Amino acid sequence: MPSPKARNTGGRSGSVPATATAAAGGNGRYEFMSLSRTPAHLLQRQGSDPTSARLRASESPTRRRGSGSSNASTSSTGGQQLPEEDCMRLNPSMIGIALSSLLAVDLWLSKRLGVCACEDSSWGNVRPLMKLVEISGHGIPWLIGTVYCLYKSDSAAGQEVMLNLLMALVLDMLLVGVVKAVVRRRRPAHNRMDMFASFSVDRYSFPSGHATRAAMCARFLLAHLVLAAPLRVLVLLWAAFVGLSRVLLGRHNVTDVAFGFFMGYCQYNLVEALWLSPGVLQSMMGQLE
């Protein structure tokens, strides 16, 4: 029979006897649980299952909140957060999505329009005609023709126009070569590298040098040569057909040609700003003599 002293001692301690007895285990140690941290429903069930009560008390919302905050502080101080680049990849911007979609449409449309890429294509029999159009927009024939016209010209006005056209062609080649070397976009996979007089930068696709040259020369001829209406229409059709032939032959993507037309249109404004006057022409011709 337990003595009253033992009962009074257990009541004054404020501990839970059943829990202390279950926690004693085999090592003889007692573990006491604070009543302020133990939920009421666990106190009611301590008599039946003290071990589960102690485990549930350890999983209380207070402990969970504490562990969550400690994990957050550990992750923030431990440097295990995702890098900013990875966060940007996980959350792409609308501009990136639009550019990716435009690139996919560009590649698909360019492949569908490359009907003259090789002899066994759907329009393979038109390939020789497309290659003639390609040569008509090449830089070497234009340079040779401009130098010949400059040499044969008798008037100062004609020499001035031809000299500025020669400067425009050289400027076009330099600018296109620089942009191609910087962008380094490969040509379409269905292209055959059998172009007329190609150079090292011609293995790149962006922008189309034929398109820039066609747009610039078309503006130059329409502005400085007196042409009849049918010839003016013919010049515009030639420029458009040169750009279309680049896609039909599989040489370029659609965006390469579109940007080439825009670049050639803007290059003419630069040529007008750098226009060589007759005085400069006379001094240059005097030095050549």
Three-state DSSP string of 7-68: HHHHHHHCCCHHHHHHHHCCCCCCCCCCCCCCCHHHHHCCCCCHHHHHHHHHCCHHHHHHHH
How far apart are the C-alpha atoms of 219 and 235, rounded to whole Å? 9
Q: Taking all residues of the chain, what is their mean pLDDT, rounded to a whole number?
A: 74
Q: What is the mean pLDDT of residues 127-146?
A: 90
- 3-class secondary structure, 197: coil
**Catalytic amino acids?**
210, 252
Res 15: pLDDT: 43
Q: What is the mean pLDDT of residues 238-245?
A: 93
User: Could you report the per-residue pLDDT of 122-134, keeping only the tens digit for each?
Assistant: 887 888 898 899 8
CATH numbers and ranges of domains, the chain: 4-61 (no CATH), 111-288 (1.20.144)
**Alpha helices (H) along 114-227:** 127-136, 139-152, 156-183, 209-224
Helix 254-273 to helix 156-183 angle, to the nearest 10 degrees? 140
One-letter amino acid at 101 equals: S
The model carries a pTM of 0.63
User: Could you report the per-residue pLDDT of 19-48, keeping only the tens digit for each?
Assistant: 444 444 444 444 444 444 445 544 444 444
Enumerate the β-bridge partners of residue 186.
204
One-letter amino acid at 213 equals: R
How far apart are the C-alpha atoms of 151 and 1, rounded to whole Å? 133
Closest CA to 141 of 216, 203, 205, 197: 197
Res 4: pLDDT: 44
For residues 191 and 117, the answer to whether their CB atoms sit within 8 Å is yes
List, in order, residues 6 or more apart from 289 with CB less than 8 Å away. none
* Band (53; pLDDT cuts 50, 70, 90): very low
Higher per-residue pLDDT: 199 or 169 = 169
Res 93: pLDDT: 80
Higher per-residue pLDDT: 203 or 201 = 203
Torsional class of 228: left (φ above 0), alpha (ψ -120 to 50), beta (otherwise): beta
Higher per-residue pLDDT: 75 or 273 = 273
Do you know the residue count of the chain? 289
Q: Give the end-to-end CA distance of the chain in Å, rounded to a whole number.
A: 136
Q: What is the mean pLDDT of residues 98-117?
A: 86
Higher per-residue pLDDT: 148 or 280 = 148
* Band (239; pLDDT cuts 50, 70, 90): very high
How far apart are the C-alpha atoms of 32 and 23, rounded to whole Å? 8
Res 152: pLDDT: 86
Q: How many beta carbons lie within 10 A of that of residue 191, not counting itself?
A: 21
C-alpha of 158 from chain center: 46
